[in-house]
Amino acid sequence: GEDVEQSLFLSVREGDSSVINCTYTDSSSTYLYWYKQEPGAGLQLLTYIFSNMDMKQDQRLTVLLNKKDKHLSLRIADTQTGDSAIYFCAERGGQNFVFGPGTRLSVLP
């Protein structure tokens, strides 16, 4: 079945860039998503990328997609303490979403 993998933890210093990586197995995925979950809250869509794109930029967020290697990354520029959260990668090839385990981003002052 489909599978999505992420590293579980990432720590960065405030002001540095964060890069969160994700790999997926379903080559038919048409859209890939990044969601953010803050403590005590549900998931919030951050950004998405269509599978025929290799890069998408949205303010401080840059998504890179390597479709050949089935590798997706999210770069957060000038990381702030408010960016501390769990980030989920998700793919949708069939009808339903498959989420990764989430990467917990800690931003150190």
> Residue 101, interface with another protein (CB under 8 A)?
yes
DSSP states of the chain:
---EEE-SEEEEETTS-EEEEEEE--TT--EEEEEEE-TTS-EEEEEEEETT-SEEEETTEEEEEETTTTEEEEEESS--GGG-EEEEEEEESSSS-EE---EEEEEE-
Residue with Cβ nearer another protein (47 or 84): 47
Residue with Cβ nearer another protein (90 or 107): 90
Q: Residues 58-87: x/- map of binding to another protein (CB under 8 A)?
A: ------------------------------
Binding site for another protein (CB under 8 A): 4, 30-31, 33, 35, 40-45, 48, 50, 88, 92, 95-97, 99-102
